[in-house]
Structure 1
Amino acid sequence: LAAYVDRVGSALAAKNGDALAQLLGLTAGCATVELRSMSVEQVGHVCQSKLSRFDADHEASEKAGDEVHDSLRSAEQHLKKGFAMAANGRVPAEHNKQMGTLFIVNQLFKIYFKLNMIHLCRNLIRAVEGPAFPPFERFNKSDKVTYQYYVGRISMFEDQYQKAETCLDYAWKHCHRGKLRNKRMILQFLVPVKLLLGVMPSPKLVADYALEEYTGLTDAIRDGNLRLFTEYLSKYQDKFIQQGVYLLIEKLRLLVLRNLFKKVYLIQQSHQLHLEDFQVALRFATGGDMDMDEIECILTNLIFKGYIKGYMSHTKKILVVSKAQPFPLIVDVSS
């Protein structure tokens, strides 16, 4: 029974609903005999002792988490004092520590990301970009790469994708070629940002850095394959969430829809497209029906973002697209 309760605890910790349902339903056949051979008092005693241990483990985990949080906040305060002292350029040259300020900024970035207090990074960025800060090119290359990596991630969270691409691209190009792990970490954010801006990664890049999760996504975007996109998003959902790019990947769905609707335009060869044609295309792509209001909402978003040039007639259920490049290149729209 103790082993059985352990398995229940493991399933709870892993949030494995299927395994937990099977265990609690006693369908696994692992606890039936043991339960029958024990009295109610014995079962209650064993369960109580095991659950008490789980409670103790949970409390210890929470305590350890609080200690880590306190340690990080303490480190933050010391680093901020160090930054203020190092940034003070009104000292003799032999005591000037300004060239260490970017390293301190990067350490503070790491702490704020761990504490989920990314908004505090903006104050540091303003200081680095301010006129009193030493010229960026004078700093150590590794510090510059780390700084651009974090600023790129921050810009990505703030939906500043052009700046995110610039910063992450800098980090990627200047990262030491032997630091494969670091280069892959940069690509985990650079690739989805570039996808959103209409730039597809090469198959060689995907293969060299084991980015297999993007193989199907790039194919789905290029072909307007909504079903393949949904499958890959579901398959690698946990990985994308862990990396912190899931919401960014979800935004790529609009590009898939844009390319799907472009196929409808190419088939019809008309500048007046009936919304029913888009409904048929979506039914074929997803295997389910989408109501007209939702289709109109999608088209409105595509027009608003500039992915489609045209206007929509709600009463006639018609999309009228421009005769001159009705579906602009995604790269041109993003720029």
Structure 2
Amino acid sequence: MPLSEIVLSHLQAANSIHDNDWLKAFEHQCGVVAAITKWLQLQKDENWSLPVMHTACVELRLLALQAERIQKKSHSVSHVECLEKAAESLMGCFRICASDNRSSEEMTKRWGMLALINQLFKVYFRINKLNLCKPLIRAIEGSPFKEDFSLSQQVTFRYYTGRKAMFDSEFRQAEAYLEYSFQHCHVQSRKNKRRILIYLIPVKMLLGYMPKRALLEKYDLMAFWPAAQAIREGNSNGLSRAIEKNETFFIKNGVYIMLEKLRMIAFRNLFKKVYHILNTHQIDIQALNVALKCSGVTDADVDETQCLVANLINDNKIKGYISHQHNKLVVSKQNPFPALHTVA
């Protein structure tokens, strides 16, 4: 009987944890989840066991993480092996829940889908297999219960889908998901709010919204402040220093490349300053090159400056064209530097 298997495997896992044998505890917990999968299949018209399934799956992921640390130290096998195996077990439960097409909304096992997806997200992000998230996202987007899952599960789901959208350069979508996650996160969950902001802030910056110092101080995220200041000023060299100073933080949290993408916005802001100083719609490329050198980009020549301007025009960050005959940037007389959130 699956129930006796669940109890036996659970007791074996608990005993292994007591002995600090994390690898064996993980193996026994895999047995727990496998038995629960069988149990769910046998429950044709019930779903009361979903909380048991959720607890077992959370414990499986946590034990996989602990086993991963042991494997990493031993160098004996791939340290992601346990996490990959955990993902397979979680997918077994997910398939049972997703395939329950009973018309009774109250008794369907599909209520367990989002909790499982959030656990799978945590594993896939850990082992860097974000491509596996796409079908899971589609499963929820197409679910009739999309807006009816618990708020905590929706906050977690949007946090991970927001991060996925950010890595896919879908910044508007990333902003919407992460903004929802931040606004609906429990007001006392400062740690989780900070975690969300680590990704929401660079997304907002790419859309042209620079963070306020008070917000960064409140959530201990002042690592972003020097970068934000440099971007406002159009100071590429200052941005490089800001990124280098907090490089460990940015790399650890996976936003280093996002900060590098902000360099183009710094260039755009610098050229906008030149436009206002010269007060003309025909700006000599040489003037832009001088501005670049003054901001610390000493190795840029006129041709490289022209290429940089062309990229900004192509990205709709500048409205205009380059007159190669006269070596000038000719900008639109109406809104030549459109707001970034309107073009991203």
Structure 1 and Structure 2 fold alike (TM over 0.5) = yes
CA distance in 1, matches of 2:191, 2:71: 33
CA distance in 2, matches of 1:287, 1:183: 36
| Aligned 1:67-146 pairs, distance under 5 A | 68-91=79-102, 96-130=108-142, 133-146=143-156
Q: Name the structure 2 match of 1:27.
A: none
Q: Is the 8 A contact 1:99 1:134 kept in 2?
A: no
Letter in 2 for 1:324: Q
Pairing partner for 2:242 from 213, 232, 250 = 232
Letter in 2 for 1:122: K
CA distance in 1, matches of 2:80, 2:72: 15
Q: Name the structure 1 match of 2:220.
A: 210
| Aligned 1:53-68 pairs, distance under 5 A | 61-63=74-76, 66=78, 68=79
Q: Name the structure 2 match of 1:150.
A: 160
Closer, same or farther: CA 287–256 of 1 in aligned 2, 3 Å: closer
Displacement of 1:202 after TM fit? 1.8
Pairing partner for 2:333 from 319, 323, 327 = 323
Letter in 2 for 1:62: H
Letter in 2 for 1:215: W
Normalization by structure 2: what TM-score?
0.76
Displacement of 1:178 after TM fit? 1.0
Computing the radius of gyration from Cα coordinates, the structure with the larger value is 1
Task: Provide structure 1 residue ranges, at least 5 long, that are not aligned to the other structure.
Answer: 1-56
Displacement of 1:260 after TM fit? 0.5
Q: Structure 1 segments of 4 or more deviating over 4 A?
A: 57-60, 91-95
CA distance in 1, matches of 2:297, 2:152: 50
Pairing partner for 1:304 from 314, 317, 336 = 314
| The 10-residue stretch of structure 1 (240-249 or 287-296) with the greater mean CA deviation from structure 2 | 287-296
Q: Secondary structure at the match of 1:138?
A: coil
Displacement of 1:97 after TM fit? 2.2
Percent identity over the alignment is: 42
Summarize deviations over 1:306-325 as a string: whole Å, max 9, x none: 11111102232111111111
Matched, 1:189 2:199: yes
Q: Secondary structure at the match of 1:319?
A: strand
Task: Provide structure 2 residue ranges, at least 5 long, that are not aligned to the other structure.
Answer: 1-69
Letter in 2 for 1:184: R
CA distance in 2, matches of 1:256, 1:280: 15
Q: Is the 8 A contact 1:279 1:289 kept in 2?
A: no
Displacement of 1:332 after TM fit? 2.1
CA distance in 1, matches of 2:134, 2:100: 22
Pairing partner for 1:200 from 206, 210, 230 = 210
Closer, same or farther: CA 92–227 of 1 in aligned 2, 3 Å: closer
Pairing partner for 1:313 from 301, 323, 339 = 323
Q: Is the 8 A contact 2:236 2:297 kept in 1?
A: no
CA distance in 1, matches of 2:204, 2:86: 35
Displacement of 1:263 after TM fit? 1.0
Q: Secondary structure at the match of 1:215?
A: helix
Letter in 2 for 1:105: I
CA distance in 2, matches of 1:91, 1:206: 48
Q: Secondary structure at the match of 2:330?
A: strand
Q: Is the 8 A contact 1:282 1:289 kept in 2?
A: no
CA distance in 2, matches of 1:255, 1:104: 39
Q: Is the 8 A contact 2:163 2:199 kept in 1?
A: yes
Displacement of 1:150 after TM fit? 0.3
Closer, same or farther: CA 82–322 of 1 in aligned 2, 3 Å: same
Displacement of 1:118 after TM fit? 0.7
CA distance in 2, matches of 1:109, 1:59: 21
| Aligned 1:283-298 pairs, distance under 5 A | 283-286=293-296, 288-298=298-308
Matched, 1:259 2:269: yes
Closer, same or farther: CA 318–79 of 1 in aligned 2, 3 Å: same
